[in-house]
């Protein structure tokens, strides 16, 4: 075993795992980190990797030979070749000095692997004051019912054909939120249903794909979705209706929970906070 759990566990201020993203606190074990090292050698997706549903090959991998694992801190670097490439170092440790060491390692690895990006990801606990970056939130479906909301939301395929045809221009308009990529997956029948909101026979918001898969310990998890509403359609409560429809779908299809990542103080963050989700911590990413 590479990692010493008695060293590592106190350093884990929030449940974020390199190449996997956020995980349920109950699934946060040394085995997850060991699995990412093995996956780096084979290049395969782990069975519970959220990116596996898109097919192809795993892009980001841990640079095992460059991991720094000590009693006080742990640095886990990853490499992605997407675009112009990024070397990223996950900095686990309670002292702020860990960020400086991680930045030096990220810059070095970016040069060694000839990639442009060099970043440091710092996990921070839920008690962090004045947080920046991304909040990790938990929706627990076992804590209460998620009734179907009233509103103009249904699966894209359940809308009349003329309305369905408006999804393509909507996806193009919201490409920055991942909807163009989602549309290509829908066209290739590579994903679960997508819920859409329509006004005056035009799709103006969507959330999806809807998919429930087992996590590392076998608990059914509602997988992350792409989520967007056209700017001109905001302020009418459609985002909340879409989100509640997605939560109803997840609970109805046996999900035990969902993990979400939201930009601190962004619209989705405020929505999730108002819906009573539990904050599990934060991640703050900076350039090295």
In this predicted model, what pLDDT tens digit does every residue of 59-115 receive, in sequence order? 999 999 999 999 999 999 999 999 999 999 999 999 989 999 999 999 999 999 999
CB distance 191 to 182 below 8 Å:
yes
Residue-level pLDDT at 218: 96
Residue-level pLDDT at 18: 97
CB distance 280 to 252 below 8 Å:
no
Residue-level pLDDT at 74: 98
Q: Is 174 helix (H, G, I), strand (E, B) or coil?
A: coil
Structural domains of the chain ordered from first start: 5-135 (no CATH), 143-255 (3.40.630.30)
User: What distance in Å separates the CA atoms of residue 241 and residue 248, rounded to the nearest whole number?
Assistant: 10
For residue 195 the two structure tokens come to 């819920």
Strand partners, 68: 75
Q: How many residues does the chain have?
A: 288
User: What distance in Å separates the CA atoms of residue 239 and residue 207, rounded to the nearest whole number?
Assistant: 9
User: What distance in Å separates the CA atoms of residue 131 and residue 150, rounded to the nearest whole number?
Assistant: 34
Question: Which stretches of 91-160 are DSSP H helices?
Answer: 97-112
Neighbours of 69 (CB within 10 A): 16
In this predicted model, what pLDDT tens digit does every residue of 166-176 receive, in sequence order? 999 999 999 99
User: What distance in Å separates the CA atoms of residue 107 and residue 118, rounded to the nearest whole number?
Assistant: 5
DSSP assigned state of 56: S
**211-221 CB burial, b ≥16 within 10 A, e <16:** bbbebbeeeeb
Give the closest residue to 271 by CA, choosing from 258, 280, 262.
262
CA 139 distance to own-chain centroid: 14
Q: Is 81 helix (H, G, I), strand (E, B) or coil?
A: coil
pLDDT tens series, the chain, 288 aa = 899 999 999 999 999 999 999 999 999 999 999 999 999 988 889 999 999 988 888 999 999 999 999 999 999 999 999 999 999 999 999 998 999 999 999 999 999 999 999 999 999 999 999 999 999 999 999 999 999 999 999 999 999 999 999 999 999 999 999 999 999 999 988 889 999 999 999 999 999 999 999 999 999 999 999 999 999 999 999 999 999 999 999 999 999 999 999 999 998 899 999 999 999 999 999 999
């Amino acid at each position: 075993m590479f990692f010493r759990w008695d060293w590592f566990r106190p350093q884990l201020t929030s449940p974020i795992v390199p190449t996997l993203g956020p995980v349920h606190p109950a699934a946060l074990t040394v085995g997850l980190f060991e699995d990412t090292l093995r996956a780096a050698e084979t290049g395969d997706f782990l069975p519970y990797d959220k990116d596996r549903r898109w097919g192809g090959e795993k892009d980001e991998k841990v640079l095992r030979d460059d991991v720094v694992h000590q009693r006080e801190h742990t640095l886990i670097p990853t490499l992605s070749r997407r675009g112009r490439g990024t070397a990223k170092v996950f900095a686990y440790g309670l002292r702020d000095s860990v960020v400086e060491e991680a930045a030096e390692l990220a810059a070095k690895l970016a040069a060694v692997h000839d990639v442009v990006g060099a970043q440091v990801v710092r996990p921070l606990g839920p008690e962090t004051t004045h947080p920046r970056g991304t909040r990790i939130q938990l929706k627990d479906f076992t804590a209460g019912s998620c009734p179907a909301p009233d509103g103009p939301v249904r699966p894209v395929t359940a809308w009349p054909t003329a309305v369905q045809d408006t999804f393509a221009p909507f996806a193009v308009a919201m490409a920055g939120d991942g909807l163009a990529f989602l549309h290509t997956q829908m066209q290739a029948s590579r994903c679960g249903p997508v819920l859409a909101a329509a006004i005056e026979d035009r799709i103006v918001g969507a959330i999806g794909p809807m998919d429930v898969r087992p996590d590392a310990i076998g608990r059914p998890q509602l997988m992350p979705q792409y989520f967007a509403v056209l700017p001109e359609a905001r302020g009418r409560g459609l985002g909340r209706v879409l989100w509640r429809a997605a939560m109803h779908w997840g609970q109805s299809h046996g999900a035990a929970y969902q993990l979400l990542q939201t930009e601190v103080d962004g619209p989705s963050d405020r929505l999730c906070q108002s819906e009573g989700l539990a904050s599990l911590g934060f991640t703050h990413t900076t350039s090295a």
